[in-house]
Amino acid sequence: MGAGRGPLFLRRADGWLLPLEVERWCARADAVDLMVLGRCEGAVLDVGCGPGRLVAELAARGRPVLGVDVSEAAVEHTVRLGGQALRRSVFEPLPAEGRWDTALLLDGNVGIGGDPAALLRRMSQLIAPEGLLIAETLPDVDVDERVSVHIVRVTDARGAAGPDFPWARLGTPALLRHAARAGWRPVDQWMTGGRSFVALRNRRDRGDRLDRSTSSTAEPPKSTAVISSQRARNP
């Protein structure tokens, strides 16, 4: 994915294929992306950053930003673009937990882990009280689906495939239902360029935060990138 070569798909056990927009993700941030980034506040955590187009754009603007992705190729691509990124799951310890001003779940990343409720609870731990979460949802549909998928190329859709992993697909109504139960307050929703977005505020009380620093502003790690999830976990 980091090289921008497709087509790639998520394939369900019944043969259903979901195309992955690899070429768009590996290109520069487009007009829709720029509109989303214009809404970001303070230090930004991009969860599932992929090849890093959003991280690179924010870094070029001088914004504190960190990308997180489980793909080594994606992290390396982000670093080559001039961004900072960690190869790590969002459910592992991350720098500046509880102090990020904005977090992004774009490009289908509300599906990470196959459990939207657990993901939204985890995001609440990462973002500061009253911090902002911008999530991308499926446009014009009320879908709330849990699936087991694997990544395939169109040429080997019936043959060799990667390992299965849990994924979820959410429309805006479903995301809002999960968000309300996880302690998020909706502040906006919009569609543009055929894509759908929701903005949420973290209602977590300041007394609930794990105070890892006296600073109220998140800062990315000092090193350019941590490629392995097994390296230093303490920011």
Identify the pLDDT of residue 207: 55
Identify the pLDDT of residue 83: 97
Global pTM value = 0.84
Alpha-carbon gap, residue 101 to 86, rounded angstroms: 18
CB 104 within 8 A of CB 112: no
**Digit-coded pLDDT (tens) for 125-172:** 999 999 999 999 999 789 999 988 988 876 554 545 678 899 999 999
pLDDT value at 232 more than 70: no
For residue 197, the Cα-to-chain-centroid distance in whole angstroms is 13
Q: Which residues pair with 65 in a beta bridge?
A: 44
CB 10 within 8 A of CB 167: yes
CB 67 within 8 A of CB 78: yes
For residue 113, the Cα-to-chain-centroid distance in whole angstroms is 11
**Among 128, 154, 140, 133, which Cα is nearest to 215's?**
128
**Among 212, 201, 235, 225, which Cα is nearest to 72's?**
225
Identify the pLDDT of residue 70: 95
What structural domains and CATH numbers belong to the chain? 8-226 (3.40.50.150)
Q: For the chain, what is the mean pLDDT? A: 85
Here the tokens at position 115 are: 């459990």
pLDDT value at 103 more than 60: yes
Question: Cβ-count burial of 110 within 10 angstroms (0-12 exposed, 13-18 middle, 19+ buried)?
Answer: buried
Could you check whether the bond before residue 139 is cis, i.e. omega within 30 degrees of 0? Answer: no
Here the tokens at position 143 are: 């879908």
